[in-house]
A and B are shown apart, each in its own frame.
Chain A
Amino acid sequence: MTDATLENAPYAFVRKETLQQEAAPLSVAGPIAWVRNNLFSGPVNSLMTLVCLYIVVTAVPDLVRFYFIDAVWSGTNRDACLPEKVGRPVGACWAYVADRLQYFIYGSYPIPQRWRVNIVFAMFALGVVWMLWDRAPLKKVGAFFFFVILPISAYLLLLGGDGAETFLRFLILLTFGLAVLYLVLSFVPSLARFWTGPALLAVEEAAPPWQRFYRPKRLILMAMIVFGLIAVLAQAVGLPRVDTGLWGGMMVTFLIAAVGIVFSLPLGVVLALGRRSKLPIIQLLSVIFIEFVRGVPLITVLFMANTMLPLFVPQEYSPDRLLRPLIGVALFAAAYMAEVIRGGLQAMPKGQYEGAMSLGLGYWQMMRLIILPQALRIVIPGIVNTFIGLFKDTTLVTIVGIFDFLRTIEATLVDPTWATPTTRATGYAFAAMFYFLCCWGMSRYSIAVERRLAAGQKR
């Protein structure tokens, strides 16, 4: 038997060496194939591609010319953006946005006091990063900062005045009292027996004194530091009262959105649980609230709050003009949030409830540890949808005379100082960019969260 090697092959048509590997043919790889697969894969897609291409070709060059090439970037009044004064066609008047940017951010907030808003903005940014960045340390301290310390600090710093200072003194006394309490408990932990129970007490007693009750001590320490710093500021430079009528711009937009988002989620969870509760009164109240709020438009709620309420309530007891829409928006968002969360609760298989109960968990433990974490994960798109809707709905407060970001732009549009043919297009483009960045950021973040939380379900 001969060896069937290539060298010995007796036939001339048998190739003796391996061929060089060739690139894939153009019809399955490379740019042409990509275009064919993605843009022209069939008659419908080809048509769509052509239509889109036509739109892009006709619109984009003009937009770019208007907003960038022909745009005016600096100037002090309308003369900078008038074609006959500049001697060339003028596109967007970005000089107007630059000139009024401070007003768009702070509204009429007094200029010497605007550092207070900046501090709150910085604290808000810190809190957001701390909460949203999943590798940030000390998440629980972060949550405490975001949900407790930040709102109180924002109230103290933004409003100021005698009331705020009295409240600040009370807070400092309170945190100081709690600090003393925990200091005592560190050395005599048995005093907390009635609260912790013997098992947890034994754990605390095993630790050295400075590590006992470590977690609450951290929170109190942070509260003391933050309130202490604010008190120093109040002493050193003073925090005169800034009436809410002067608040405006992005500051108010963020305030309304933040209050709505922070309050609507917990309230929505409570309402959703209430609606599924077997206790008839709780269920009835939840249903009535949710259905009533969902049955009226937000504008009606705002009108009731700012136009009708003052007619029924004596002037001196009437709540602040900014506070009323804040409460209205938060309650309104809560009702929608409740329905979204109820959807998540209904999607949970009954086995999860039974499994939790068979472990001996009570209602709240079952909800907190088993049901809600899963239910909320299911409805993340719905929750974020509600948040984005809420963020955009904040513009409705303009009709009750609150100067949110969009309203501040509209107010400057009537100002003759910047009256040019292109001011309006510039102002609204700026508003569109702001709202798009905020909403798009929220939706991207929610997608990332979804992916992270769904990791356990991937195979």
Chain B
Amino acid sequence: MGEISMKKIMAAAIAGLGLALAASAVSAQAPATLAQVKQRNILNCGSNTGLAGFGVPDAQGNWQGLDVEYCRAVAAAIFNDPAKVKFIPLSAKDRFTALQSGEVDLLVRNSTWTMTRDAALGILFTGVNYYDGQGFMVRKKLGVTSALQLSGASVCTQQGTTTELNLADYFRANNLKYEVVAFASSDETIKAYDAGRCDAFTTDASGLYAERLKLTAPDEHIVLPEIISKEPLGPSVRNNDPAWFNLVKWVHYAMLNAEELGVTKANVDEMLKSPNPEIKRLLGTEGKFGETIGLTTDWVYRIVKHVGNYGESFEKNVGQGSLLKIARGQNGLWTKGGLQYAPPVR
């Protein structure tokens, strides 16, 4: 969910910084991020200031979430210690500048991968660790099972966000009548929906599940299956270090491959003895694939041992193991009808 005003600010900031960046990009000679990280002995990870399921401090003050575990996985691969991460919480306004300036080594902060961001900001998205999109929530007693039945409905949404624009696009494209009831903050929006000011509530699907918990009777509401926008969320790195880009990208693929091959946190030690050549290559008992991206051969073993595979991380933070209970859906493996597909290790 990107706010329009925020985008304008970003655009202005980028224009202003263009010169400074151009100058620094010219003078920069292949900074080896991995070497810097190793020398610093800690990974600087740009994180969210608080988003349910993706990055939230628990009662002890430790960060938990899907994005947080991505950072821990990168740290585990490099240092064999998932605790060697320094989380730098960044607001939506300063996240990309912090990455550009080198203050963080990678940014895992539910940022939507868009063309402009890939092309103009001097950063690269390494992949998609969560396929999000805008969805609808309605009361069960309405008897609605599809967004296409929402003709004539009033929809609560947040003002000035892309959510509002997507909503208009979707209803116009499907020739449906609707009435927007917009509020300044997400909190007011959900309150209004709870009070019955509108028939449906819309925001990013991952957010719908978190907001539903704040309703007085969460079980009386359902999330409709339609996803009306594409919000691929992923980690990003600076575009001046291909080796580091590769490393961050392959940490995600390693977790996906581990899930696909059935390697879990619990059985990873047994899997070391597996005769399956694919597992052997993945866990580094055969070949030296980790060394090609600057890591050790047991890099995947480290990730799975300390953090787990993608499926485990998903279920623990946003799926059935969490309060959000988000279905895998698009985030399932390609073998199970989802979009998560990793190239092979070979």
Contact = CB atoms under 8 A, between A and B. Distances in A.
A106 interface: yes
A83 B214 CA distance: 12
B102 A310 contact: yes
A352 to B, nearest CB: 50
A424 B62 CA distance: 21
B322 interface: yes
A411 B53 CA distance: 12
Nearest to A321: B88
A414 B210 contact: yes
B296 interface: no
A145 interface: no
Interface string B38-66: 00000000000111110011111111000
A108 B214 contact: no
Contact of B61 (A106, A421, A423, A424): A106
B187 A424 contact: yes
B274 interface: no
A311 B17 contact: yes
B52 A414 contact: yes
A419 B57 contact: no
B103 A399 contact: no
B89 interface: yes
B61 A401 contact: no
A111 B60 CA distance: 7
Given A315-B103, A414-B50, A419-B214, A103 B88 contact: no
A159 B282 CA distance: 41
A181 interface: no
B103 A401 contact: no
Interface in A404-449: 407-408, 410-417, 419-421, 423-424
A153 interface: no
A84 B91 CA distance: 36
Interface stretch (A33-41, A243-251, A378-386): A243-251
Given A416-B324, A421-B214, A103 B57 contact: yes
Given A111-B60, A410-B50, A84 B17 contact: no
Contacts of A106: 61
Nearest to B101: A310
Contacts of A100: 59
A83 B216 CA distance: 8
A160 B33 CA distance: 27
Contacts of B91: 399-401
B84 to A, nearest CB: 11
A107 interface: yes
A111 B97 CA distance: 32
Interface string B86-108: 11111101100110111100000
A243 B86 contact: yes
Contacts of A277: none
B87 A315 contact: no
B179 to A, nearest CB: 25
Interface residues of B, number: 42
A310 B103 contact: yes
B90 A401 contact: yes
Given A245-B87, A306-B94, A417-B323, A311 B20 contact: yes
Interface string A77-90: 01000011000000
Contacts of B17: 311
A421 B60 contact: no
A62 interface: no
A245 B61 CA distance: 12
B56 A245 contact: no
Contact of A420 (B50, B103, B214): B214
Nearest to A313: B101
B194 interface: yes
B213 interface: yes
B215 interface: yes
B97 A311 contact: yes
Interface in B283-336: 322-324
A283 interface: no
Given A312-B20, A416-B52, A416-B53, A307 B98 contact: yes
A403 interface: yes
Given A310-B98, A315-B101, A401-B89, A84 B217 contact: yes
Interface in B159-177: none
Given A414-B52, A416-B322, A248 B94 contact: no
Contacts of B324: 416
B42 to A, nearest CB: 8
Contacts of A399: 91, 93
Interface in A275-325: 303, 306-308, 310-312, 315, 318, 321
A413 B90 CA distance: 17
Given A107-B61, A414-B56, A401 B88 contact: yes
Given A306-B94, A311-B97, A318-B103, A419 B213 contact: yes
Contacts of A374: none
Contacts of A311: 17, 20-21, 24, 97, 100-101
Contacts of A421: 194, 214-216
Contacts of B98: 307, 310
Contacts of B100: 311
Contact of B210 (A109, A419, A420): A419
A303 B91 CA distance: 11
Most buried by A among B58, B88, B322: B58
Nearest to B102: A315
B30 to A, nearest CB: 15
Contact of B49 (A109, A407, A420): A407
Nearest to B217: A84
Contacts of A318: 103
Interface of B: 17, 20-21, 24, 49-53, 56-63, 86-91, 93-94, 97-98, 100-103, 187, 194, 210, 213-217, 322-324
Given A315-B101, A412-B56, A414-B210, 8 more contacts: A103-B59, A243-B86, A303-B93, A308-B97, A311-B97, A399-B91, A414-B50, A421-B194
**Smallest CB-CB A-B distances: 5 pairs:** A108-B61, A419-B213, A310-B101, A416-B323, A411-B50
Interface of A: 78, 83-84, 99-100, 102-103, 106-109, 111, 243, 245-246, 248, 303, 306-308, 310-312, 315, 318, 321, 398-401, 403, 407-408, 410-417, 419-421, 423-424
18 contacts: A100-B59, A102-B60, A103-B59, A109-B61, A243-B86, A311-B17, A311-B100, A315-B102, A407-B49, A414-B210, A415-B57, A415-B58, A416-B52, A416-B210, A416-B324, A419-B52, A421-B215, A424-B187
